[in-house]
Chain A
Amino acid sequence: MTRLDGHFLKPGSIPADRLDPSIPLGGGALPDGTVTPAKLAENLLRKFVVVRWGTAQDGDPGEKTVSLHFRDYLDNPIPAAHVLRLTCDDRATLAVGEHGQALSGAESADLIAQTDATGRLDLVVRCSETATITLAAGATQGSPLLDATALLDVNFA
């Protein structure tokens, strides 16, 4: 890149007088309200990690399995191993299935776990009662910026 009066210009860039008139001039500033997640570079977009729950599947009696994935704000998968905390009410316990690993609290209602390198975590939820168990995720020590707004209700009949 070439330094030009305090600004950076890629070689071969279009001179200002050949730009589309709709492109605003004046310091190159973007119009207010135009930056969307789609305009972020991939490595920046992936700093904002969103938790997505899959659908609960039946397992053994009193047992359900559910997968959790990481997505970015464009709903693309984030293939990364990240740490997060998972909680539910005391009537159920949580453990890690095939994908991911438990770091602490396995077989309890307060689990700290890590997704596998694809960003997937398989949870095994066990409950011996007829109940709806709400699962919540959240950030903890070692977590990235995490949007864990989505909860999941798992029904045990």
Chain B
Amino acid sequence: MPIEDAVSPVQKVTMDEMAQEFADRFAILTFGTPGAETDDTIAVQIQLKNALMEDLAAKERIRLTCTAGAELSLVDGGNGVVLSGDGTEDMILETDETTGTFDLEVDYSGTGTVTVVGGATQGSGFVHCGESLDLTFA
């Protein structure tokens, strides 16, 4: 048996080697597939993932902003809580603790693309919001 088989090279710890509890400390904001436009409104679900890109059931606070003129809100009866900015283009939300989801509704009376982007805010943990969402309103 060659000795190098037993030696861990420097800089080789991977995400998969992270313990579940550790991986769950790092949240990643992802968007689901948007629904069809209905009455100038498109619904899309936000889902938190952990560092292993598994669904993460956690309460996380996120600031969402979007293209001027559009309005962000929570789907009636949907998962999550709006903390501030309901019905505006700058909203702070809290994901549902048991699912890590937030049911987002975007309203836009014009035509074209509305871009939605998330970010960390007051009360956030380690949350990565590198993914934005483009919604096309016809």
Contacts and interface: CB of A to CB of B under 8 A. Distances in A.
A34 interface: yes
Interface in B1-21: 1-10, 12-14, 16-21
A13 B125 CA distance: 39
B34 to A, nearest CB: 28
Interface stretch (B36-44, B65-73, B101-109, B115-123): B115-123
Contacts of A19: 6
Interface residues of A, number: 38
B132 interface: no
B9 A8 contact: yes
A23 B1 CA distance: 14
A13 to B, nearest CB: 7
Interface string A14-36: 01110100010111111111111
B22 A36 contact: yes
Given A9-B3, A48-B126, A30 B17 contact: yes
A8 B133 CA distance: 44
Contacts of A149: 59-61, 123-125
B120 A138 contact: yes
What 3 A-B pairs come out closest when comparing CB atoms?
A: A28-B8, A16-B6, A138-B122
A138 B121 contact: yes
Contacts of B19: 33-36
Interface residues of B, number: 31
A90 interface: no
Contact of A29 (B12, B59, B123): B12
A6 B123 contact: no
Given A16-B6, A35-B18, 19 more contacts: A7-B7, A8-B9, A9-B3, A13-B7, A16-B5, A17-B1, A19-B6, A25-B6, A27-B8, A27-B9, A28-B6, A73-B22, A87-B122, A137-B123, A138-B124, A139-B124, A148-B122, A148-B124, A149-B124
Contact of B2 (A16, A34, A136): A16
Contact of B8 (A30, A85, A136, A139): A30
30 contacts: A4-B3, A4-B4, A4-B7, A7-B4, A7-B9, A8-B10, A9-B4, A16-B3, A25-B1, A25-B6, A26-B5, A28-B4, A28-B6, A29-B12, A29-B17, A31-B17, A33-B20, A35-B18, A35-B22, A48-B25, A48-B126, A73-B25, A85-B122, A87-B122, A138-B121, A138-B123, A139-B120, A148-B123, A148-B125, A149-B61
